[in-house]
Structure 1
């Protein structure tokens, strides 16, 4: 795949005034970048050229060493250059994906800092907000990142105002959460540059019928995610998700929504086939797994961040859920590995650690 900015004649065009200038985008493809978020950003630019009959946008693809970039699905993308000098008015878009910490090398971070000192617009797609933050580009800025990487980001970069939006534009810093969120970000840029008519025409070509704004959030609503529309159940789950580090007891959760503990138990059993304690434990362990995989936090600190007062109990719960200990998940070993594993959960109940 070689970059191009063709302006071939479309079947129908949107009348546009002569642009004051072309905009040049520089896409930095990190190792194992997510192809979907990259394609969702570059295709609207191509279509904008086609629909306007003008070359409104140009782009260059770069990688750290100028060699072909490999995305997370194994596809290889040819690039035009390495980390070369570009113009001050160029828009640099970092495309992240899997294992973004390893891909955020010193060479990449130093190059981004150099670009930043020129005052250029810099954006990050999918997990690339991590790269931008590691380079110091998101201090006291609003930003977003793919929801799966949110926990690790918050632990490492507390000076960034991380939102749950599909994309964020904060001055000359742009971030998009990944997937199709790149479309929404780029359509907003096109609308700002050349008007909503052209942006809508591009969306129409993409068969993209609902353009989202920076006020839209990434994840499906809780009722949609769990497949159940029950207001009080949704409120309890939302409270659980907000209180991972300091878990709330089932009795207090029930009281907050005007139910008895027994009624809450029946509600979870009926709709989710598990107890409130087990569901809560699964949320906490999922958060812990994300932190183990995405951060350098010690196992003890991960345990504390997920509401476990005892590292050994954390290890036992983790082993029961995932079949391995937190240390082995990291590829290291600790005292926990020398302790016998507890049997699997009985009747759907995890070891209880809600205090």
Structure 2
């Protein structure tokens, strides 16, 4: 199989998988800072889901997009709902007295047993943040703290269902949503752990674009389950929206990396013509079957390079390349670095 010299950018399906290893010409000049205000008994699961989205966003780009910090309302450590104490990096008093610069985004982390009483210094801190045009959000019932500060008057918010009645009774000007997420450029609110991740992905999509979100989902959604009790790891050809014969071909390609099959062999096994094969890939994946197959093999090679110490020659053969020079040329066309340099760069990062 020959290397496609005139196409050096991965097609959309493979671009998400390989995005952490591709040079990003539109890298941001500054990272976005996110501060998580940890209330006593905050939901650890919601907090870590939100942080995971930020950390993974940094992994899928060659330059960091986000940094985060933890803030205690009063003192550190802060006890989570699991009884685990988290040592916060700062307290909100460090910001109210001017010792630190406010982050770009503040997220108040609530939980099942978090107090619904007003904390005056937290309310003042949130009001100050709003005056400085900080985007403010909440997890679980953290929206109650925003409501105490008057930041949700005449606005819609999401919060845990157990707190809907309290919010409606005490803050009649706040519109409680039945949605698990309410997100715009000024407010980000979510109802629980799963929606915490989705809320952060919504924010990342607004600030960094949908390609970054797709790449994050590529990493974080591999074990997603459904009502069908499908507990198998998801693979790149598992999309039920794709025609079954296309998915069968993609599975055949994935199973034949070391000894690639010809387009004629693939067509014959599936029982379609080569023209139909090419039309399937073009219509549904916006690429050609040969290009997809090459990108699949290069992606497999990239994983072997990063996760093993096998010689480049062995990896080339394991991925269906007849010579290491042919492999190196193809790899450099797509990743901008030779296989050995890419390995060195990854391991030194």
Aligning the two structures, in what range does the TM-score lie when normalised by the shorter sequence? 0.5 to 0.7
Counterpart for residue 197 of structure 2? 183
Counterpart for residue 50 of structure 2? 41
TM-score (norm 1): 0.53
Does the C-alpha gap of structure 1 residues 11 and 89 become closer, same or farther in structure 2, counting only changes over 3 Å?
Answer: closer
Q: 2:123 aligns with which of 109, 125, 134?
A: 109
Say which one has the larger Rg.
2
Counterpart for residue 135 of structure 1? 149
**Structure 1 gap segments, 5+ residues each:** 1-9, 211-219, 221-355
Q: 1:95 aligns with which of 109, 123, 127?
A: 109
Structure 1 segment 173-322 matched on structure 2, within 5 A: 173-207=187-221
> What's the offset of the Cα at 1:102?
5.0
| Counterpart check, 1:21 vs 2:21 | no
| Contact 2:112-2:140 at 8 Å conserved across structures | no
> What's the offset of the Cα at 1:137?
0.7
Does the C-alpha gap of structure 1 residues 208 and 136 become closer, same or farther in structure 2, counting only changes over 3 Å?
Answer: farther
> What's the offset of the Cα at 1:100?
3.1
Tell me, in whole angstroms, the C-alpha distance in 2 between the residues paired with 1:11 and 1:136.
41
Counterpart for residue 214 of structure 1? none
Structure 1 segment 64-103 matched on structure 2, within 5 A: 64-83=73-92, 84-85=94-95, 86-87=100-101, 90-102=104-116
1:60-103 deviations in Å (ceiling 9; x for gaps): 11101241111111111111011122545621110011343356
| Counterpart check, 1:144 vs 2:158 | yes
RCO higher in structure (CA 8 A, sep ≥6): 2
Q: 1:50 aligns with which of 48, 59, 66?
A: 59
1:274-331 deviations in Å (ceiling 9; x for gaps): xxxxxxxxxxxxxxxxxxxxxxxxxxxxxxxxxxxxxxxxxxxxxxxxxxxxxxxxxx
| Contact 1:45-1:186 at 8 Å conserved across structures | yes
1:108-140 deviations in Å (ceiling 9; x for gaps): 122112212222111111000111101111001
Does the C-alpha gap of structure 1 residues 154 and 49 become closer, same or farther in structure 2, counting only changes over 3 Å?
Answer: same
| Contact 1:125-1:182 at 8 Å conserved across structures | yes
Counterpart for residue 296 of structure 1? none
Root mean square deviation, CA, Å: 2.3
Does the C-alpha gap of structure 1 residues 35 and 103 become closer, same or farther in structure 2, counting only changes over 3 Å?
Answer: farther
| Contact 1:41-1:183 at 8 Å conserved across structures | yes
Tell me, in whole angstroms, the C-alpha distance in 1 between the residues paired with 2:51 and 2:117.
21
Q: Which moved more, 1:161-170 or 1:35-44?
A: 161-170
Tell me, in whole angstroms, the C-alpha distance in 1 between the residues paired with 2:50 and 2:180.
13
1:32 partner SS: coil
1:207-248 deviations in Å (ceiling 9; x for gaps): 2688xxxxxxxxx9xxxxxxxxxxxxxxxxxxxxxxxxxxxx
1:119 partner SS: coil
2:81 partner SS: coil
Tell me, in whole angstroms, the C-alpha distance in 1 between the residues paired with 2:29 and 2:143.
30
| Contact 2:135-2:187 at 8 Å conserved across structures | yes
- Return structure 1 stretches of 4+ with deviation > 2 angstroms: 10-16, 86-89, 98-104
